Every structure is written in C-alpha cells, then in structure tokens.
Chains A and B, each alone.
Chain A
Amino acid sequence: MEIVEPTNVYAYKLITKKEYFAPGHRACQGCAEALAVRLVAKALGRNVIVASATGCMEIISSPMPFTSWRVPWIHVAFENAAAVATGAEAGMKVLMRKGRVPKKKITFLAMAGDGGTSDIGVQALSGALERGHDFIYICYDNEAYMNTGIQRSSSTPYGASTTTSPAGKLIPGQMTWKKNMPEIAAAHSIPYVATACPSYPIDLVEKVKKAAKIKGPAYIHMLSVCPTGWRLPPELSIKAGRLAVETGVFPLYEVDHGRYRFTGKIEKLRPVEEYLKIQGRFRHLSVEMIDTIQKRVVEEYEKLEKKVEMTEGD
C-alpha cells in the first residue's frame, strides 16, 4: 500500500496552520465532513470565494449573526451552488477585465452534499461544468440527506438502512447502487476529476491544490464519514474512511485531462465486511447481501483499473 507517498511523509508540515474554517461551528462530534471542509479551506488559502449549498455544512457554519467562515462565503439555496459559484466567477472576471477590481488569482469553490450534488443539484452542476467556468466543485458525500434526518439519496450505498430506506422485513434497506458522480463529472470531459477522503489529509490537500491550479472546471468527490447517519462511534470516523478506501468501496483516484490514475492503489483489497460491520446502517445485512456487495466492489474496482491502464501515459 502506498497511499502516503514517501516524499510526502513530512508534507503535513506544509499545510498551513491558519484556520479559514473557524472552530466553534455546530457540527456533530466526529464529523469527517467538517474536517474535510477545514482541510479544503487550508488548501485554498485566503484568496477564495465559496458558494455553499443548503445542507449540514451551511447550517452548522452560518447561524446569523455568527459565521465560521474567514473567507467570503455565500449560500443561496440547495440545488444551485454550482450556478452561484459560476456567477461569482463570471462577475469577477468582468470586473477584473474592466479594471474595477485589481487582477489577482481567486479560486471559486462550490460545495454541496451528495443530495445537493447527485440529486437536486445535478442539473446546475452539469450546466456549470459544460460551460467551462474556472471553478472547483466539491461534493461532500456522506451518503444520505443527513441534515434532514438521514433520508436516502442516490448516493446512498446498496443495503444501507436510512429513514426512507429502512431495513424492513420485506425490503432490507437501500436496494439501488450508489450513483457514480465522479464518472458523471468526468463524462463532461473537464480537465480534472478526483476522489478524496479526509482520512487521507495530504492526498486531499494535494488534490484540492491541483484543482485550484488547473484552468477550467474541477470536480472533487469527497467521501465524508457521518457517524450520526452511519451509526458508528465518532472516534471511528477516520478509520471508517480508511476502510472505505482499503476495501475498494471508495477508491482514491484522479482523472487528469482524461487520464485515470490511482492515488492510492490497493494491491490487495480488504474484505468489505470489515468496512460494513463497524456501521449500524449495515447491521441487518445478510451474508448473501454482503457477498453481493463484495462482488460489485471488486467488479467496479477492476473497471477502474482498466480505465487506468487504458489511459496510462508513456
């Protein structure tokens, strides 16, 4: 396993100590999404404008008259983070062109949860990616509508019990497979797509920095463990993220100008059961269902390996 590349062993020291996402926000204990937001903010620094969708991160960080944001931040609605961010980008571009604002590099960041991205926000996101604005979109994926009380989304994994896909006597939880948002983003042929997880902070920061450098749209899909919704103890958040990667459930990779590359290639995948068994939302799974998930994970991982092989450079 070479998830932390040797040259990066001391790289965490290069991450700024400055906090742009201030402590004191109202996220749950062990919220890996808040951790990811904090790391992203560190990676991007002060010259950023953030457009946030409605969701956990918005309500925990902006109860008027307080704010956790030490960078300019705007929230308009649930499904339009991509549209608002690209409006800010376009507006700023004109203002700089006309000399009404001094020219400098500003990163435009849109952020939303999995519901705000893969369900209700997918149209605005697709439009923004297609139009080619210079911005980063980060989907903080905690695999359900956690803010409203753990309802299923199209990003909820197969088998998971949520409040609208409960593990019933007849139907044992979510019966559909997780929508593959990074692939949908990549299908727009944008310059950069990546997956990341705050359990791998250096990888996360590097990808965000890379996304900021690249001209044009970049999409990052961030697995964000939610102890509250996944029914696991807060102290297992980081471990759960690691297991998601090590079992192949959530592979870390990037698509840089169409070229697929693993950023954490797993030589031998750990059994998915190790990941599933620590989470209450999968408590009800039968052996057969676990087996079905295992097969699917391997299948998807192999598909990804093929994409990496096919697009490998010289």
Chain B
Amino acid sequence: MGKRIGLEVSLSAAEAVKMANVDCIAAYPITPQTHIVEHLSELVNNGELDAEFIPVESEHSAMSVSAGVSAVGARAFTCTSSQGLSLMNEIVHIVASMRLPVVMILANRSMSGPISIWNDHTDVMSIRDCGWIQVFANNGQEVFDNVLFAYRVAESQNVMLPLIINIDGFILTHVIEPVEFWEKEQVEQYLPNFSPIHTLDPDKPVTMGGVGMPYVFSEAKVAQDEPLKQSKSVIITAWKELGDIVGRYYKPIETYRIEDAETLFVTQGSFGETVSLVVDALRDEGKSVGLVMDRLWRPFPFDEFREATSQAKNLIVIDRAISYGGQGGPLAIDIRSTLYKGENQPNITNFICGLAGRDVTIDDFKNIYHKAIEKVKKHPREEDFEYYGVRGK
C-alpha cells in the first residue's frame, strides 16, 4: 500500500501526473488551476520529473503544443479552467478528431460573464460534444487515481482519445485531503508506456490532419464516435484493474443507499459527497432516499444509469450549469432522454444550483428534497426545472 499523505488536492494531482511519467506539460495559468501547474513546474525544475515544462503564451497554444507532443508519441498533460478552456476550444475538438490521447485536468470554474473565478460546471458543459472522454471526480483520492487511469484508457490502442478529468475548482482543488499515493511498482503494473502505432516519424512518414472533403467527412466523424462509445468497456476494465491493484473500485455510475429508495438524487462531481451526508440524514428521518453519482460523463453510461434508477419513483437531478433556453441543466436534459421510453419512468425534478461557487449546504439539499417531493405531488411528470436559492425570483 502506498503512503497516505494529507495534501492539497492540486498538489496531489500534480504528484499523480509525475507518477504517470508524463513527457511534456504545456500550460497557461488560470485560477483555480494554478496550483497544479505551479507544482508541476517545481517538480520539473527540481529534477524530480524528467519532462519538458512548456510555459505557453495562451491556452490555445497549450492545447496546440500538447497536440504536437502527442503526435510524436510523447505523453502530454495540460490543465485549465473556464475561459482558458474557451480559448482552447477550437483545438480541443481537433485533438479528439486526430485521436491524440492528451490528458487534461479541468479545474471547473464558471464561464464569464460576469467574470467569476468560482466553481460550477458551465465550462465543461460548453464542450460536452467535443469528443473527449470526460469523467468527474468526487474527491482528491479519485483525482489522483484517475490521472493514472486517464493515461491507461486514453492511450489504449482501442481508444486513442483524449480525456478530461473534471475537478471542482476550489471546492476540490484548494482543499487538503488525505490521499494514498501509489507505489512505483503499482504504476508500472497498471500503466504501460505510451506506444502509438502512428507518430510523426521521419522513418515512417504519415500525414496527420488532412482535409476532409464531403465525400469522406461523415465517415471520419463516425469513425471518431465509434471508439468513444466503445471506450466504455476499456474504461470499466481499467477501473476494475485499478481496484485490483490499489483496492479502490470505481464505476461509471456510483450509487449510495439506493436500495428500495423511492427518491434518488443525481449528482456530478464534489456534490456527491455532500449529498451522501444528506441521504444519511434523510434516511434517519425515515425518508426513502438514495444517491446516484455520475462519474463517467462521456461516453454516457446509459445502461448503468437505467439500471441504477430502475426502481426509483423520483429523481432529483442537480445541475451545476445552465443550458440557456433549454429544458433544465445539461445533466437533466441527458437523463430525460436516457430514460425516455425506458421501462421505468420516474418523475424528474431538476435544480440548478451552486453556480459560481455559491455554497449548497446539507440544509439546502434537504430543502431541495422537500421541494422536489412537493412538486411531484402537485404536478407529476412535469418537466420543469428551478434555479435554487436565487434572490428576487
């Protein structure tokens, strides 16, 4: 077993990147991502990590440099938040289409404006359809483990797709948590060297990123989406084997006390841990409540989600992002379409809360629970949503 250390989550994430033996880190500073890249530059400058730290002049170049790094067969890492993600957006899409397995930590922060440095999921939701594998983390340990998982999955020959690890800005990035490190041998056992079939190699020249004329474009896009869908089995295996090595087992959909629960909360990211306490409290009050946490966002685990919610009468979906003019938050929209025509058709209430770092406490979640039950009684199957806790409404 690796040593257990109390460390800021950003620093332990950087330590995990070091354990993954990355070759190049290209990054541009943006709050709340900074501590991760600061620590990585420290590790490189102190000779603890044999890698190139490339202090680029923008996030657009961070992702572009990462593309170049990955294309020659080296392991690339980058890290950003909100506006930085927006600036690199163009390249984020291209990297997926070019099947370059870059790994990025997204320290989730709200999208401007008004400008805000605080946490929500509006950044990642803005690139939902970018073609990357996307996972959420509940806590620091999960971030650490998932960095190693990320390279293992992204670089798998059957996958070869980039991967985003979402971690809630400040709420996770800036807190100190106990994290169990891996032993070097465990990493070696779990994560092979990056050895892609095609690289930019003068001895075996290839052309990467050619023009897709209409006669070839659709085929190219389907050829990109298929491996993303199929990556789910690689992801499940990689989490299983991670568990076999370090004893922590992860699943695309995590559940907590869902047995016989009439009502299920559905969350992404660090809300999960808070809501698990709410579930305990409500259970103590005799309420029939459980929790479903979505860890794998893309490819969306449809079967696992349907299975986890197969007995529920009510779902309370918590969104930390807005789909302007849409029918609720992005998570709720996906869940409604997942359950449409399913065998079980629970009532779905949707609350958008915690925008730009506004605290959502245990009492708030209890309140949300009561509101949801009330709503369902009055208007079952109504597909509305509510901005929770907004003044002047």
Contacts and interface: CB of A to CB of B under 8 A. Distances in A.
Contacts of B289: none
A15 interface: no
Nearest to A101: B73
Contacts of A308: none
A236 interface: no
A7 to B, nearest CB: 31
A72 B200 contact: yes
A254 interface: no
B61 A80 contact: yes
Contacts of A131: 54-56
Contacts of B216: 64-65
Interface in B18-57: 23-24, 26, 50-52, 54-57
A27 to B, nearest CB: 14
Q: Is the interface of B mostly helix, strand, loop or mixed?
A: mixed
B64 interface: yes
B224 to A, nearest CB: 13
A178 interface: no
A124 B205 contact: no
Interface string A85-104: 11111111111011011000
A151 interface: no
B60 A74 contact: no
B58 interface: yes
B76 interface: yes
Contacts of A87: 24, 26, 54, 64-71, 76
Contact of A77 (B26, B65, B91): B91
B210 A91 contact: no
A98 B23 contact: yes
Best-buried of B23, B90, B193 by chain A (most CB within 10 Å): B23
A67 interface: yes
A203 B67 CA distance: 33
Given A69-B207, A72-B205, A74-B209, A88 B200 contact: yes
Given A72-B206, A76-B209, A97-B50, A124 B61 contact: yes
Interface in A66-84: 66-67, 69-77, 79-80, 83-84
Contacts of B211: 58-59, 62-64
A303 to B, nearest CB: 29
Interface of B: 23-24, 26, 50-52, 54-58, 60-61, 64-74, 76, 90-91, 94-95, 98, 193, 199-202, 205-213, 216, 220
Given A86-B54, A100-B193, 12 more contacts: A49-B200, A65-B210, A72-B205, A74-B71, A76-B91, A76-B94, A77-B90, A83-B65, A90-B74, A91-B73, A94-B51, A127-B56
